[in-house]
Structure 1
Amino acid sequence: MDWQTLAKTKRDSINALIPVSWRLPSPTPPATKQRNVTGKYIQQFLSPREVEITETDAVGIVKQTTVGLWTALEVTKAFCHRAALAHQMVNCLHEIFFEAALADARKLDEYYVKNGKPVGPLHGLPVSLKDQFHVKGVETTMGYVGWINTFEGRTETGKERVFESELASSLRRLGAILYVKTAVPHTLMAGETINNIITYTWNPTNRFLACGGSSGGEGALISLKGSPVGFGTDIGGSIRIPAAFNGLYGIRPSSGRLPYEGMANSMDGQNSILSVVGPLATSVGALKLVIKGVLSQEPWLHDPLVAEIPWRDEQEKAVLDIVKAGGGGRLAFGYMKGDGAVNLHPPVRRAIDIVLKTAERLGHKIVDWEPPSHQKGLDLAFKTWLFDGGADVHAAFALSGEPMAGPVAATYGTLKEQYTASQIAAVNVGKRAYQKEYMDYWNSTSALTGTGRPVDAVIAAVAPFAAARPDMYSYYGGNTVLSEEDVTAKLMMPGFSTIVNILDYSTSVLPVTKVDKNIDVVDVGYVPLNAQDEKVHLAYDPEIFDGAHVSVQIIGRRFQEEKVLALTEILGDALGNHVV
């Protein structure tokens, strides 16, 4: 088949797996008439019982399923129905395996009846997965037309539809139910979710905007509550951007905390900046629930790159003890104003201000964050994605002859010269030196906090905008003058989020507010810092962005996942937007 026919055949086969009774009676109205398809809009197609189940967070669900008050079957069926509706509204699914999920749910219910106890702490909890995870019985395309009916583009490997990623198997052992895999941009290297199979995935809260990438399908699905919790990956912001754009909590753990064994990927073997697995959900509690569950499976025995670090209650307790102490017991947060290359849109500035004022109201200290040049770190990071000159990406597209989506072609449109071993080694040396420089700066802030400790975490933007407009993710890095070849590489990775990846810091996303066109007006008489900043500024239109989610990221140090989540929960509770 030509690539268009193959893509359409795959797309049609996905849609055909939606039961007739779950298909929408008519196409979803255009964004001009119905920009927000969350909440009441999607609820109209569900029963009151389905709404009750699907609008309960993951923690609340397992409280019911692990004691037999809710059956795994009714929970799974409710989420399958809502996921089917979500896909019809925003194109968020790559794979549907409802029948297998319902069969698994029946087995869980039978086990509970027979043994009087759950299989594990996630018994009966539906969990969605980014289409980078291999799942038995289901193929993985990762958005590539050339990967359809193959195993990562190869045939007759013996792994087709039988191989499973370690994290997927771990979730099954915990009692979770796998039922869908979600959309990604082909290559995974974009802040929007677009490919030639399912086309474009829209932001459910504001369908004028992007849902983010590369875990964009996860963000869109969970925003529509078609999943209570899901797993994505992050190599430059791919968990945090979709979480932020869709008003969700999410965490990018340090590499080696959660298992990555058996995942599909682009540029596999590029180890200078590793992609990491992490969850997205509607509550911090849900993130903690699934991370604790996965760590209870001792993933360091199944993945050689996982560090032997069980869940540490003491890290979380240390934060809570400081908060409860009162009378001088306080936290300290660094405040990152920007990166000097572009300024933030008005709603993002307001969101950061809300969080800072909330922290101060709680009695905590705010310190201006003036670290080593982020441009230095970003210049190193951007090089890693072109170590092979784009050979891996071009080989994947050559399998079908399909074209690259615009956001991907900006970087990988032409093959470039591959780095030599010596050049790669130089990047790695530079990365290590930069990490040490940043570490020393962080340590030095103990002189500014008044707590006797360096800052506990840094509050920063995830992106300069609340969400990107399609084909207008116009800022990906700093402002150093580079060669033409390096500029194309720079266009690919989001600067505000990618700095975390080169530092390998534990970082979460905190939903804060929504864009209000009456408050977040355009800056009058704005003078751009440079050409990139002008593009970012001109992309903001209060009418278009109205109602979009606005979030920030909470940046901690390496392997501080428990601490970062505790800080995020404290601030979320204080903001009054934490889902319980």
Structure 2
Amino acid sequence: MIYNWYSYYTHTSIWKRKRAARAHQLASVPPEFRAPPDGDDTEIVSTPISQIVTHAQSGLWSPSRILRAFGRHALAAHRATNCLSEILLSSSVPPSAPTPTTLPLYGLPVSLKDSIDVAGYDSTNGYSVAAFRPARADSALVRLLKDAGAQVYVKTNVPTTLLSFDTRNDLHGATTNPHSSIPSPHPPLAPGGSSGGEAALIAGGGGRIGIGTDIAGSVRVPAHFCGIYSVRGACGRFPRAGIQGSLPGQEGVLGIASPMARTLDDLEWFWRRVVECEPWKYDTSCNVIPWRPVDYLGEGRKLKFGVMWDDGLVRPTPACRRALSETVDRLRKAGHEVVDFVVPDAPQALIVGWTLLLADGGVTITSRLHAGEFVEPGLLSLLKALHLPSLIKRLYVAYLRWRGDGWYADLVQSLSTKSVAELWQLVAWRNGWRQRVQDALDGAALDFVLCAPNPSPAPVGGPNTGKALLLACGDTFLWNILDYSAGVLPVSAVDPALDAATLEPKNVVERRLYNVYDTKAMSGAPVGVQVVGRRLEEEKVLAAMRVIQDVWK
């Protein structure tokens, strides 16, 4: 195979220019943003977003004063974590209203994942081929936010292709987890992905509310790793038009946009305000479903949870198992019913999910890559498996089965370019499986499923970290395939004295994950739990998150 040196040279030239362009953006921000945050800035950024909007509407704080506070804190978070891809501070301030305004998000700074189109700025998804090609128009979501009076002030870093649970690319470099940004003998922790820049910004104090996207756990894993809150909504609740995914046209497992927040109050308040702005008027993919308030705590209702202890492939590490076990104990002490629950055919569903994502043979992903461009090693392995010659693939699959890695062997065997008929068969299996899961939930009379957001807390970041995490995503990916609403909230932290690894890995996916599980490096890192509801039940999921937060008080 002849290496494409011209493509490599083009890629190298682009990423160097892009890094220089971001450096110029940072150096060119208006002078009022360059000073370190002061006490007034910190007071504003520490205020719940509902109160920020109230103060802006009343005239107590002007939008420009609020933006200055968030801008200074965002730049400080970026210096610590390298979380920003685009800086919009020079163009974010809405005109000051001559009289107090009633716009529902007036003055509120909102950050966005890199893939969400803002007119005049790149949406690269980490690809160098997409650099210096600014969006011509705002996405539907950005139009809604601006119409509601919000200030879009920064865009945040992502991994190349978006299919990674670490955040690094050649255009902007690697983002780190703010929980490891202080001096430490260990390398920085990973922030998760693909909305890792968004999570790092919020957890690092540079924002209170932002929007990521999620196709296999891309808002929930970063929320778990960085100790913030997020709800992955079902398709049809949040606008998607104008968001640049890495797999446009792929509908076997749909990517969605979802908010990420510093607190549960902020998350619920923002969800409600966006839905009250009638997103279906901005994006035809949105369902006409008004906000339906739910308050289990106020009602005193006792809930029934089913615990999915693992996805049938990877068992949680001790830190995540402990957080889940303690949550179960606390719920039971509060009078809620908790039973074990096994998702039917979960390992096979994960294979179908990955096969749907790569049903085009990886063409959509690879056609946009330049030679030498960084790609998550785990994804690269899957792309190589897609194109193994038939005989080599059969031998490799036989070898994997011989060494006891039956699930991975089944995945490799399943990966190939699919015909239309084969794609329809996969979708038919998915639809039948969705019904079997619903029947199982109904049969157990469950209100919610409780599980880990990932088998591990945030591991040390590095070029090979994503490979350990990529296939160990069943705790989140299953709910994407089902298109269920699912939320993550922090409940605990890694304690090396309690969370030492004791399990012997049973397969290659588990082995890779446990190889990066280091409680000394992770000490103090956040650990979350995930609560899962049915499709389009975001209000109920948020209410159940409040129940869980309450039992941890």
Determine if the TM-score, normalized by the shorter chain, exceeds 0.5: yes
Tell me, yes or no, if the aligned pair for 2:83 and 2:157 is still in contact at 8 Å. Answer: yes
CA positional deviation for 1:91: 1.2
SS of residue matched to 1:340: coil
Shift, 1:295, TM fit: 1.6
Helix, strand or coil at the partner of 1:52: helix
Two-structure CA RMSD over aligned residues (Å): 2.1
Q: C-alpha separation between the residues in 1 aligned to 2:192 and 2:75?
A: 20
| From 369, 374, 381, the counterpart of 2:353 | 381
**1:572 correspondence with 2:549:** yes
Q: Secondary structure at the match of 1:550?
A: strand
Change (3 A) 1:493 1:94: farther
Greater CA drift, 507-516 or 466-475: 466-475
Q: CA deviation at 1:352?
A: 0.7
Cα displacement string for residues 267-307 of structure 1 (whole angstroms, at most 9, x for unaligned residues): 21111111011000011221222222222222223322211
Cross-structure match for 2:270? 290
The aligned counterpart of 2:308 is: 336
Aligned-residue offset at 1:391: 0.8
CA distance in 2, matches of 1:228, 1:493: 29
Match in the other structure for 1:522: 501
Q: Distance in 1 between matches of 2:385 and 2:342?
A: 37
Q: Verify: 1:68 aligned to 2:59, yes or no.
A: yes
Structure 1: stretches of 5+ with no match in the other structure: 24-43, 151-159, 324-328, 446-453, 477-490
Which of 115, 119, 125 aligns to 1:142? It is: 125
- Code of the aligned partner of 2:228: L
How far apart in 2 are the matches of 1:378 and 1:532? 13
Aligned equivalents of 1:174, 1:556: Cα separation in 2: 29
Task: Give the equivalent residue in structure 2 for 1:540.
Answer: 517
Q: Please name the residue that 1:450 is paired with.
A: none
Supply the distance in 2 between the matched residues of 1:83 and 1:164 (Cα, whole angstroms). Answer: 22
Question: How far apart are 1:223 and its partner, in Å?
Answer: 0.5
How many pairs does the alignment contain?
Answer: 506
**Partner AA of 1:137 in structure 2:** G
Displacement after TM superposition at 1:17 (Å): 2.1
Q: Distance in 2 between matches of 1:195 and 1:147?
A: 13
Q: Name the structure 2 match of 1:96.
A: 87
Change (3 A) 1:492 1:266: farther
Code of the residue aligned with 1:204 in structure 2: it is P
- The whole-number CA distance in structure 2 between the counterparts of 1:527 and 1:320 is 41
- Distance, in Å, in 1 between the alignment partners of 2:90 and 2:454 is 39
Deviation at 1:542, TM superposition (A): 1.7
Fraction of identical pairs, as percent: 33
Matches within 5 A, 1:428-439: 428-439=427-438
Q: Which residue matches 2:177?
A: 203
Partner-residue secondary structure (3-state), 1:191: coil
CA distance in 2, matches of 1:369, 1:475: 26
Q: Where does 1:207-218 land on structure 2 (aligned, <5 Å)?
A: 207=181, 208-218=188-198
2:377 counterpart of 1:406: yes
What does residue 25 of structure 2 align with? 17
Q: Which amino acid aligns with 2:111?
A: S
Unmatched tracts of structure 2, length 5 or more: 1-8, 182-187, 388-415
> Residues 98, 21 of structure 1: CA spacing in aligned structure 2 closer, same or farther, 3 A cutoff?
closer
Deviations, residues 298-319 of structure 1 (Å, cap 9, x unaligned)? 2223322211111112xx14x3
Counterpart contact for 1:381–1:502, Cα < 8 Å:
yes
Structure 1 contact 411–492 (Cα < 8 Å) conserved? no
Contact 1:189 1:493 in 2 (8 A): no
Amino acid at match of 1:115: T
1:127 to 95, 110, 113: 110
CA distance in 1, matches of 2:467, 2:367: 27
Q: Which residue of 1 aligns with 2:100?
A: 116
Shift of 1:45: 4.2
- Report the CA distance shift for 1:125/1:395 in structure 2 as closer, same or farther (over 3 A): same
Match runs of 1:491-506 below 5 Å = 492=471, 494-506=473-485
Deviations 1:424-471 (A, max 9, x none): 1001100000000000000001xxxxxxxx221111011110113332
Q: Give TM-score scaled by structure 2 length.
A: 0.87
The aligned residue for residue 481 of structure 1 is: none
Where 1:553 maps in the other structure, the secondary structure is strand
Which residue pairs with 1:509 in the alignment?
Answer: 488
What stretches of structure 1 move > 4 A for 4+ residues in a row?
Answer: 19-23, 473-476
SS in 1 for 2:58: coil
Q: Which amino acid aligns with 1:188?
A: L
1:122-159 deviation per Cα after TM superposition (whole angstroms, max 9, x unaligned): 11110000011110222221211111122xxxxxxxxx
Instruction: Measure, in 1, the Cα distance between the counterparts of 2:90 and 2:148.
Output: 20
Contact 1:190 1:493 in 2 (8 A): no
Alignment correspondent of 1:482 = none
Alignment of 1:92-491 (within 5 A): 92-101=83-92, 103-104=93-94, 107=95, 110-111=96-97, 114-118=98-102, 120-150=103-133, 160-207=134-181, 208-313=188-293, 316-317=294-295, 319-320=296-297, 322-323=299-300, 329-398=301-370, 402-413=373-384, 416=387, 417-445=416-444, 454-470=445-461, 471-473=464-466
